[in-house]
Structure 1
Amino acid sequence: MNAEYAYTRKRMHFGKRYNFSDFDKTEVEIKSNPTLMNNYIRMDPVTHATQFGKVYAVHEVNTTTATYKDNKMFHYEGGWPKDINMKDLEQTVRYRRKIEKDELYIHTMLQLLPSMEHCILQNNACNIYEHYYADVEANPLIQRAFSRTVNVYRDPLPTKRQIAHLSWSPDQGNRFAASYCNDDFKKSSSSNYASYIWEVENPNNPYMMLKPFCPILTLEYNPKDSHILISGLATGQVACWDIRRGSEAVDISSVEFSHRDPCDNILWINSKTGTEFFSASKDGQIKWWDTRKMQIPTETLVIDLQKPEDQNVDKAIGISALQFEPSIGTRFMCGLENGIVISGNRKGKSPGEKIATRFKAQYGPVISLERNPTFVKNFLTVGDWTSRIWSEDCRESCIAWTPGHRDFLTGGAWSVTRYSVYYLIKTDGTLDVWDFLIQQDSPVLSVKVLRYRDLGGCNFEISHQPIFKGL
Structure 2
Amino acid sequence: MEIVYVYTKKRSKFGHQCNFSDRPAELHVDILPDPTFAASFIYRDPCDVAIQCSQEMSEHEVNTQRFESETCGINHVEGGWPKDVNPLEMEQTIRYRKKVEKDENYVNTIMPLGNHMEHCIKQNNATDIYQECFEEEEIEDGTEEQPSAKTINVFRDPNEVKRTATSLSWHPDGGRKLAVSYASLEFQNVTSNMSLDSYIWDIENPNKPDMTLKPVSPLVCLEYNPKDSHILVGGSYNGQIAYWDTRKGSQPVEMSTIEHSHRDPVYKVIWLQSKTGTDCFSASTDGQVLWWDIRKMSEPTERLVLDPSKKGNLENALGAISLEFETTMPTKFMVGTEQGLVVSCNRKAKTPAEKIVCTYSGHHGPIYALQRNPFFPKNFLTVADWTARIWSEDIRESSIMWTKYHMAYLSDGCWSPVRPSVFFTVKMDGTLDVWDFLFKQNDPTLSLKVCDEALYSLRVQDNGRFLGCGSQLGNATLLEISSGLCTLQKNEKALATAMFERETKREKILEARHRELRLKERSRSEQSKEDETKEGDGDESTEDLVACAEKEFYEMLEAEMKKREKEEKTEKEEDKQEKEVYEEKET
Aligned equivalent of 1:118: none
Do 2:143 and 2:484's aligned partners in 1 also have CA atoms closer than 8 Å? Answer: no
SS at match of 1:332: strand
Kindly provide the CA deviation profile for residues 14-60 of structure 1, in whole angstroms up to 9, marking residues without a partner as x.
xxxxxxxxxxxxxxxxxxxxxxxxxxxxxxxxxxxxxxxxxxxxxxx
Measure the CA separation in 1 of the matches of 2:376 and 2:328.
11
TM-score w.r.t. length of structure 1 = 0.68
Kindly provide the CA deviation profile for residues 120-147 of structure 1, in whole angstroms up to 9, marking residues without a partner as x.
xxxxxxxxxxxxxxxxxxx996111111
Measure the CA separation in 2 of the matches of 1:163 and 1:290.
27
Measure the CA separation in 2 of the matches of 1:215 and 1:359.
32
Instruction: Identify which of 266, 269, 279 aligns with 2:269.
Output: 266
Kindly provide the CA deviation profile for residues 359-404 of structure 1, in whole angstroms up to 9, marking residues without a partner as x.
1131221111000011011000011111100011222321110011
Q: Does 1:448 align with 2:464?
A: no
Q: Does 1:143 align with 2:149?
A: no
Aligned equivalent of 1:398: 399
Measure the CA separation in 2 of the matches of 1:469 and 1:457.
28
Q: Describe how 1:83-102 pairs up with structure 2 within 5 A.
A: none
Q: Does 1:247 align with 2:263?
A: no
Aligned equivalent of 1:371: 372
Measure the CA separation in 2 of the matches of 1:276 and 1:170.
17
The letter for the 1-side match of 2:228 is: D
SS at match of 1:452: coil
Measure the CA separation in 2 of the matches of 1:316 and 1:232.
20
Cα displacement (A) at 1:343: 1.2
Measure the CA separation in 2 of the matches of 1:418 and 1:141.
13
Measure the CA separation in 2 of the matches of 1:185 and 1:383.
20
Q: Does 1:208 align with 2:224?
A: no
Measure the CA separation in 2 of the matches of 1:154 and 1:234.
21
The more displaced of 237-246 and 388-397 is 388-397
SS at match of 1:356: strand
Measure the CA separation in 1 of the matches of 2:331 and 2:220.
25
Measure the CA separation in 2 of the matches of 1:470 and 1:340.
31
Do 2:161 and 2:194's aligned partners in 1 also have CA atoms closer than 8 Å? Answer: no
Measure the CA separation in 2 of the matches of 1:460 and 1:334.
26
Call closer, same or farther: CA 1:223–1:440 in 2, change over 3 Å: same
Cα displacement (A) at 1:453: 7.7
Call closer, same or farther: CA 1:140–1:153 in 2, change over 3 Å: closer
Unaligned residue ranges in structure 1 (runs of 5+): 1-138
Kindly report the root-mean-square deviation, in angstroms, between the aligned alpha carbons of the 2 structures: 1.7
The letter for the 2-side match of 1:203 is: P
Which structure's residues are more often helix, by fraction? 2
Kindly provide the CA deviation profile for residues 160-215 of structure 1, in whole angstroms up to 9, marking residues without a partner as x.
11100000111011111000111125222124211000111221211100011210
Instruction: Identify which of 463, 466, 469 aligns with 2:482.
Output: 466
Measure the CA separation in 2 of the matches of 1:173 and 1:330.
28
Q: Describe how 1:15-414 pairs up with structure 2 within 5 A.
A: 142-189=144-191, 190-306=193-309, 308=310, 310-414=311-415
Cα displacement (A) at 1:460: 2.3
Cα displacement (A) at 1:429: 0.2
Unaligned residue ranges in structure 2 (runs of 5+): 1-140, 456-470, 488-587
Aligned equivalent of 1:11: none
Kindly provide the CA deviation profile for residues 305-350 of structure 1, in whole angstroms up to 9, marking residues without a partner as x.
12x1x31111111111111111111210001111111111100011
Kindly provide the CA deviation profile for residues 242-278 of structure 1, in whole angstroms up to 9, marking residues without a partner as x.
0100000000001010011111111111111110000
The letter for the 1-side match of 2:337 is: L
Identity of aligned residues (%): 49
- Kindly tell me the number of residue pairs found equivalent between the two proteins: 331
Do 1:385 and 1:408's aligned partners in 2 also have CA atoms closer than 8 Å? Answer: yes
Measure the CA separation in 1 of the matches of 2:142 and 2:155.
35
Measure the CA separation in 2 of the matches of 1:321 and 1:299.
18
Measure the CA separation in 1 of the matches of 2:213 and 2:432.
28
The letter for the 1-side match of 2:391 is: W
Do 1:361 and 1:381's aligned partners in 2 also have CA atoms closer than 8 Å? Answer: no
Measure the CA separation in 1 of the matches of 2:202 and 2:392.
37
Call closer, same or farther: CA 1:191–1:160 in 2, change over 3 Å: closer
Aligned equivalent of 1:3: none
The more displaced of 428-437 and 317-326 is 317-326
Do 1:382 and 1:411's aligned partners in 2 also have CA atoms closer than 8 Å? Answer: yes
Call closer, same or farther: CA 1:453–1:200 in 2, change over 3 Å: closer
Do 2:324 and 2:333's aligned partners in 1 also have CA atoms closer than 8 Å? Answer: yes
Do 2:223 and 2:269's aligned partners in 1 also have CA atoms closer than 8 Å? Answer: yes
The more displaced of 357-366 and 441-450 is 357-366
Cα displacement (A) at 1:408: 0.5
Do 2:426 and 2:432's aligned partners in 1 also have CA atoms closer than 8 Å? Answer: yes
Call closer, same or farther: CA 1:201–1:236 in 2, change over 3 Å: same
Measure the CA separation in 2 of the matches of 1:453 and 1:140.
32
Aligned equivalent of 2:473: 457
TM-score w.r.t. length of structure 2 = 0.55
Measure the CA separation in 1 of the matches of 2:322 and 2:195.
27
Do 1:253 and 1:296's aligned partners in 2 also have CA atoms closer than 8 Å? Answer: yes
Do 2:320 and 2:336's aligned partners in 1 also have CA atoms closer than 8 Å? Answer: yes
Measure the CA separation in 1 of the matches of 2:267 and 2:430.
22
The more displaced of 140-149 and 159-168 is 140-149
The letter for the 2-side match of 1:176 is: L
Call closer, same or farther: CA 1:352–1:421 in 2, change over 3 Å: same
The letter for the 1-side match of 2:171 is: S
The letter for the 1-side match of 2:232 is: L
Measure the CA separation in 2 of the matches of 1:412 and 1:222.
21
Measure the CA separation in 2 of the matches of 1:434 and 1:462.
19
Measure the CA separation in 2 of the matches of 1:354 and 1:320.
18
